[in-house]
Amino acid sequence: MSARGRKFGFIGASSLIALTIANPAAAQTATTTTDAATQAAPATDPTNGPSSSRPVDETQDIIVTGLRGSLQRNLDIKRTSSGVVDAISAEDIGKFPDSNVAASLQRLPGVSIQRNGARGEPTGITVRGFGGDFNTTLYDGRRISTGTGGRQIDFSTVGSDFIGGLSVYKTPDVAVSSNSIGATVDIAFPKPFDHPGFRIAGSASGSIQDRAGKVVPTGGLLISDTFANDTLGVLADAIYTRHDTTTNRVFVSGWPGGFYAPCQLAGSTAATCNPSDPGTAGAGPSDIKSVVGFFPQQYGYEQSYTKDERVDARIALQWHPSENVMLTVDDNFSRQTITTDAYGVGMWFNQGALRNVTLDKNGQATNFVQAGTPTDFTSAINKQVLQTNQIGGNLKWDATEHLNIDADVSYGQSWLNPDGNIGSQNGDIGYGGNLGTLTGLSITGNSNNAFPSLTSYGPNGNQADYANTGLIGSHVTVNQTQKNTDRLKQGRLTATWKQDDLTLKVGGQFIDDTFEFQNASTFTNNFWQAYSGYGGPSGQGGGISPLPANLYQGSISTNGFIPGFKGSLPPSIFMYSPVAYQNFLTGLGNPQAKNIPGFNYSQVPGFTGTFDQKVDPGSIQRINEQTWSLFFSASFQTEVAGMPFHLNAGVRNENTHLTSTGQGRLPLVLNTSTTDKTLLSIPDPTGYTAVQNITTRSNYSYLLPSMDAKLELTDKLILRVDASRTLTRPGLSLLTPVLSVGSGQRVGALTASGGNPNLKPYLSDNFDAALEWYYQRNSYFSVDFFLKNVSNFIVGGVTRQTINGVIDPTTGQPASFAVTARVNGPDATVRGVEVAWQQVFGDSGFGFNANATFVGTNKPYDQADISQTGFAVTGLANSANFVGFYDKNGFQFRAAVNWRDEYLLQFGQNQNTGSFGAEPTFVNAQTQIDLSSSYDITPHFSVFGEITNVNNAQQSTHGRFKNQMLDVWDYGRRFTFGAHFRF
């Protein structure tokens, strides 16, 4: 038996042992029913989840309050659903288990999270190894518009304070959606008639991150009332949330693969070294690039301070004129503003310039030097505004005793940076040229415990002058802003017929989704090089030096920069405002009206003094998707050999029409820079062909069947078998019809990116087999085996190509660009098992919730494959979660441990310039511990506190090999304290 087979066999055997030896339930003391018993459940349709046909044991009490009440509701939803569904419900009005929706979801079997490195906040989820666009998020059963640039929402934009519950559909409900190979997450918001009468709930808290050192507020208020003899209802809530985070980061922007010449390697006795391509006339054997190897493209370190502010507001109106009619109109609004001040240092390397290179057995450079390395001190103010608003209406009408009509319409719009703000405003100062450093870099450990160390630095290698402001001058000045818009119109009509043990559903849905993207920057007009060159001391003919002393605002020490990691850094990072820096350069005047020494006249003829952005035509993209869906399902229950049997079968047909529009142009020339020998540029617009509008149209149609079978073997033991087909549409950025070649390029690192509007969706045939044992009230043990056969995987990566015959001025040969492109390609199988155990120990108040997921695939990553068409399934990682709690007499305490093993995040790094296709990005294994507690001072007022990341876990990533560190972020702990009230 294979190792993987032994693993699955061990899991199965362990499950049977657990079923055999588990103790029966201890007697429980009855509790008093409270308003929490009517808490809004997650958005599951009861017609798809018939209750158990077996009688309920009335000798068991019903726990309805606090955390245990929430767990019981979650268990009931899981047990009665026809498919594989996991749920999280609020403990009370305005009291969700976690302050972040994704953080709550990671407590469920098979669900892991992705974090934003700079903030440490969970922003996305992975379900059974599938993340990002492979999952769909709904609000009350509706698709949500998103301005993120992808199809999936950013979970840090969803306020959790007044969520009623979450449902995670791991097998599809054809009446809801079949558009997610991972899972469909449905977020249910409260409505007035969930709790008839007057209700008010609120919360207020303060939080502090240990390094940021500032207490920042969060607060929310919900008011709900029904009136006019309970025929009208209104609910309104508003939430303000703020988190401040200071994060330290060490990074390598990419590890390109290529070829070294033997003369570059340690121990070489060659008198000269001129690395050359094979076939180069006059090149000796030691100069021919023939040794496979990898190198760090750019190395740096930075500290960032992020202020994350979010406003959520919602209003829901309901009209309930009779028992047969309910009309709901609601509006959901959110606005997140993330402002980051970052200060850092960066150094750029070229493979051909490296000398005395030591390679390990994988061809990984572990030690080298590079002559003339410039040193850049950077600063940035990054501001991202993400705003979403959705208005919708829903009508539920019980037309007859057996017939129900559900009609739903909505319009949503989302914007990224709608206010005209500059998305990223940057400064770059430093030294190079005559002051370039013989820089040494050493890699001495793996990415989970070490970062590369600089062995020499400073102007001309003089470490004492590393931060000598008299030698530092201006360099490049980059401003850029990404703007996205998503407009989403949708409607759904469902008719349900219920009679005896039979339920039939038939309906249709229409979705019209339009995405628009564009990017503006100082790269496009080449204004970024206006004062490049570092000034007089560097001797490159451009730049201003010295800079005014009042620009410098102090420095940041790098002592203990990443706790627990080995590696050494230069002593400090400059702090200076990029706005003040740009204002200083603008204050020098108009270089077209007067001579300004240090201005780059040869490269930036159109600059008149201000760093205006210009839209890159290649970034303009408009995608319209129209999808018509028809669905039908039938559910019935009967008995098989005296055992209740439930069957739900359905089919959904989706027909999609796609229109993709972009603006195409090709380069005509590449120019070198006299002020920075590593830079190349394409003058805009003279360096390009004329812009052409390009529009393509395509369509596809798929039939997506689904079947869920549930057999109640006993009144406590349930067997499930599920089969379905689902799809996931291609990422939006892949659907552009044009090739985009940016105007700002680097020597030896020319890049371009192309799309493919004819990409087809991923298709997956899914199979589940689960056994669930509900052995006592509020406790269960389950094992779920799953298999996904996925076709139409989108692959491609990076290939080396010439474009339009453009000549590389540094070689005199046709320029070789690393071109990113995508096509539909291979199939893959993903298989795994989820094990979950929830235990409440009688009326002691103690309990735990634990789960583990083990996944595998027939297409794992092969690090030895250096072909450009390498393929592997991303996102797969074993994971485990444990939540231990105490909940009794108004006091609640919870400790949560979440672990996720190493996994392949994506193909592609920040710099993709290698010869072996898109290099991979792996996320290292991580364990995080969170604590929370609350105390009910009165039945209406409670206080709470929580600590996230108690163990100060760090997030780190690596490339093809474990010692290819890409990023390590240290974002510290967060402490929160506050109060809830409700009446």
Could you read off the pLDDT of 461-479 as tens digits, one per residue? 999 999 999 999 999 999 9
CATH of the domain at 126: 2.170.130.10
pLDDT over threshold 80, residue 19:
no
What's the average model confidence in pLDDT over 482-506? 96
Q: Judge whether 838 and 70 are in contact, CB under 8 Å.
A: no
- Which among 210, 189, 156 is positioned nearest to 90, based on CA atoms? 189
Q: Which residue has the tokens 């004062």?
A: 531
Residue 716 lies in a domain: yes
For the cut 60, the answer to whether the pLDDT of residue 392 exceeds it is yes
More confident site: 385 or 915: 385
Q: Tell me the per-residue pLDDT of 686-700, one tens digit each, with 9 for 90 and over.
A: 888 988 899 999 999
pLDDT at 29: 32
Confidence of residue 681 (pLDDT cuts 50, 70, 90): confident
First-last CA distance in the chain: 61
Does 652 have pLDDT greater than 90? yes
Q: Cβ(367)–Cβ(440) under 8 Å?
A: yes
Distance CA 704, CA 724 (A): 7
Of 171, 68, 155, 55, nearest to 104 by C-alpha is: 155
Listed range (182-191, 297-306, 621-630, 745-754) with the worst mean pLDDT? 745-754
**Structural domains in the chain (count):** 2
Q: Which whole number is the average pLDDT over 191-212? A: 92
Q: Count of alpha carbons within 13 Å of 826, Cβ hemisphere only?
A: 12
Amino acid 392 reads: G
Taking residues 522-531, report their average pLDDT: 93
Enter the pTM of the model. Answer: 0.88
Q: How many residues does the chain have?
A: 983
Q: What is the largest CA-CA distance in the chain?
A: 96
Percent of the chain with pLDDT over 70: 92
User: Is residue 605 in some structural domain?
Assistant: no
Rounded to whole angstroms, how far apart are CA atoms 103 and 976?
A: 15
Q: What is the pLDDT of residues 717-754, one digit of tens each?
A: 999 999 999 999 988 878 888 888 888 787 877 888 88
Is the model more confident about 794 or about 646? 646
Last residue of one domain, picked from the residues 144, 170, 195: 195
Residues 6+ apart with CB under 8 A from 380: 340, 341, 342, 424, 425, 426, 427, 578
Task: Please check the confidence at residue 58 and state whether its pLDDT lies above 50.
Answer: no
Least confident of 114-128, 391-405, 570-584: 114-128
pLDDT band at 42 (very low <50, low <70, confident <90, very high): very low
- In the listed set 826, 842, 869, which residue is the last one of a domain according to the structure? 826
How confident is the prediction for the chain on average, in pLDDT?
88
Do the beta carbons of residue 145 and residue 157 sit within 8 Å? no
Q: Which domain holds residue 656?
A: 613-760+793-826
**Cα torsion for 158, 160, 162, 164, to the nearest 10°?**
100
What does the alpha-carbon distance between residue 752 and residue 806 come to, in Å, rounded to a whole number?
13
Q: Over range 307-326, report the average pLDDT.
A: 96
The CA-atom distances, in angstroms, between 842 and each of 773, 776, 845, 847, 893 are: 17, 9, 7, 9, 17
Give the model's pLDDT for residue 65: 55
pLDDT in tens, 783-816: 999 999 999 988 766 677 899 999 999 888 899 8
> In this structure, what DSSP letter does residue 568 have?
-
pLDDT, residue 825, reads 80
Q: What is the pLDDT of residue 93?
A: 62
State yes or no: pLDDT of 673 exceeds 70: yes
Q: Is the pLDDT of residue 8 over 70?
A: no
Cα dihedral 117, 120, 124, 126 sign? positive
- Is residue 580 in some structural domain? no
The answer to the question of residue 942 being in a domain is no
Question: Residue 485 — pLDDT band, cuts 50, 70, 90?
Answer: very high
In a domain, 589, yes or no: no
Distance, CA of 717 to CA of 781 (rounded, Å): 10
* Per-residue tokens: 920: 């991979």
Out of 195, 222, 237, a domain closes at 195
Q: Show the beta-strand stretches assigned E in 713-845.
A: 717-728, 739-740, 744-746, 751-754, 762-776, 779-791, 794-801, 807-808, 813-814, 817-824, 828-840
pLDDT given at position 129: 83
Whether 352 maps to a domain, the answer reads: no
**What is the predicted pLDDT for the residue at 62?**
42
Per-residue pLDDT, averaged over 106-125, amounts to 83
pLDDT at 618: 87
Q: Is residue 801 part of a domain?
A: yes
Comparison of pLDDT for 89 and 441, the residue scoring more: 441
Q: Return the sign of the alpha-carbon dihedral for residues 259, 262, 264, 270.
A: negative
CB 725 within 8 A of CB 765: yes
Q: Is the pLDDT of residue 603 over 60?
A: yes
Q: CA-based Rg of the chain, rounded to a whole angstrom? A: 30
CA atoms within 13 A on the CB side of 715: 7
In a domain, 174, yes or no: yes
Q: Decide if pLDDT at 64 tops 60.
A: no
Query: How sure is the predictor about 674, in pLDDT bands with cuts at 50, 70 and 90?
Result: confident
**pLDDT (tens digit, 9 = 90+) per residue, 847-886?**
999 999 999 999 999 998 887 666 888 889 999 999 999 9
pLDDT for 605 equals: 85
